[in-house]
């Protein structure tokens, strides 16, 4: 069986949480130590004509880590642009970026890459959804329609990124429509110092017991990185066994971005 280390990370355009310090060097070191196989990145600057040190961040990271790379540009400004990127230790066969912007104030996209891993095609989707609930709902619909149209049911899939889903409304759509499962909810080894979300089991109460049954495991807290409280980032999968899932906290991660990264260990089923 092939086992993969998979990371999802909003890198805040290569700057620290408050934007006062360029953090790309720390990011390079951190990712090198992780030895990840697939890295799903959001808020990556593909172009910065004012500061060379912030230009082409996806290529700089890929060259440093000796990984294949693809980039999807979403937001274009006068001197910069930014979007999503995928880094892979395996060959990226093809990729396409789909514009899922819901209004002109927020430019959003989903990057879809096909990666060849030990003879298996793995579909990787990097997403960064909007700040408004209605926008996120329509963007999730667009992602679901793309997956239904282009991904065969028997091919494994990973969807990861910054979903801005602090009210935890999106997971049922992915589960019901596509059979995608959030990695923390199904991991036998969850390392994020959180207790599972619990509620009394009706059956146990009827039997006169005092047992508490696990109803569901909450998604991870990832924002802000210095003291994660909001549950913004997600990783969903289909076609893998989940071995472990964790949020990377403390140094160096709290100094790199305003988000904390997610790391999951997945085994091709």
Helices marked H in 35-150: 57-65, 133-150
What pLDDT score was predicted for residue 42? 98
Q: Provide DSSP, 5-46.
A: EEEEEE-GGGB-TTSSSB-HHHHHHHHHHHT-SEEEEEEEEE
Integer CA distances (angstroms), 30 to 15, 65, 171, in order: 14, 11, 29
Q: Tens of pLDDT along the chain (269 residues)?
A: 899 999 999 999 999 988 889 999 999 999 999 999 999 999 999 999 999 999 999 999 999 999 999 999 998 889 989 999 999 999 999 999 999 998 877 789 999 999 999 999 999 999 999 999 999 999 999 999 999 999 999 999 999 999 999 999 999 999 999 999 999 998 989 987 665 554 444 344 434 443 333 345 788 999 999 999 999 999 999 999 999 999 999 989 999 999 999 999 999 98
Helices marked H in 125-252: 133-150, 171-178, 202-206
What pLDDT score was predicted for residue 205? 41
Closest CA to 100 of 133, 137, 63: 137
Residue 221 is classified by DSSP as P
**Within 13 A of 52's CA, how many CA atoms are on the CB side?**
0
Rounded to whole angstroms, the Cα distance separating 253 from 12 reads 12
Q: Provide DSSP, 65-111.
A: HT-EEEEEEEEE-SSEEEEEEEEESSEEEEEEEEE--SBTTB--EEE
What pLDDT score was predicted for residue 192? 78
List, in sequence order, every residue forming a beta bridge with 22; answer none if it has no partner. Answer: 15
Residue 261 is classified by DSSP as P
Torsions phi, psi of 215, nearest 5? Answer: -90, -50
Instruction: Say if residues 107 and 74 touch (Cβ distance below 8 Å).
Output: yes
Per the confidence metrics, is the pTM higher than 0.85? Answer: yes
Domains in the chain with CATH codes: 2-187+215-268 (3.60.10.10)
As a dihedral over the C-alpha atoms of residue 155, residue 161, residue 163, residue 165, rounded to 10 degrees, the angle is 90
Closest CA to 106 of 129, 84, 87: 129
What pLDDT score was predicted for residue 52? 92
3-state SS assignment for residue 183: helix
What pLDDT score was predicted for residue 196? 56
Sign of CA dihedral 216, 249, 232, 26: negative
Provide the pairing of β-strand 109-117 with 80-88.
unpaired
């Amino acid at each position: 069986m092939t086992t993969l280390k998979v990371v999802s990370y909003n890198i805040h355009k290569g700057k620290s949480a408050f934007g006062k310090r360029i953090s790309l060097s720390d990011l390079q070191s951190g990712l090198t130590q992780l030895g990840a196989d697939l890295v799903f990145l959001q808020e990556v600057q593909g172009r910065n004509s004012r500061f060379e040190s912030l230009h082409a961040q996806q290529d700089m990271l890929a060259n440093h880590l000796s990984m294949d790379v693809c980039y999807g540009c979403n937001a274009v400004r006068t001197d910069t642009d930014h979007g999503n990127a995928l880094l892979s230790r395996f060959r990226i066969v093809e990729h396409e970026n789909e514009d899922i912007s819901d209004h002109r104030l927020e430019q959003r996209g989903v990057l879809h890459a096909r990666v060849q891993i030990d003879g298996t095609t793995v579909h990787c989707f990097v997403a960064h959804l909007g700040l408004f609930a209605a926008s996120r709902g329509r963007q999730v619909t667009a992602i679901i329609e793309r997956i239904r149209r282009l991904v065969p049911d028997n091919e494994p899939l990973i969807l990861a990124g910054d979903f801005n889903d602090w009210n935890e409304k999106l997971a049922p759509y992915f589960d019901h429509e596509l059979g995608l499962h959030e990695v923390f909810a199904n991991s036998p080894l969850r390392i994020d110092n959180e207790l599972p979300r619990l509620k009394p089991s009706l059956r146990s109460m009827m039997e006169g017991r005092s047992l508490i049954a696990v109803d569901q495991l909450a998604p991870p807290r990832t924002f802000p990185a210095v003291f994660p409280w909001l549950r913004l980032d997600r990783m969903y999968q289909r076609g893998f066994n989940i071995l472990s899932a964790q949020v990377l906290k403390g140094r160096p991660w709290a100094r790199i971005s305003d988000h904390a990264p997610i790391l999951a260990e997945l085994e091709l089923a």
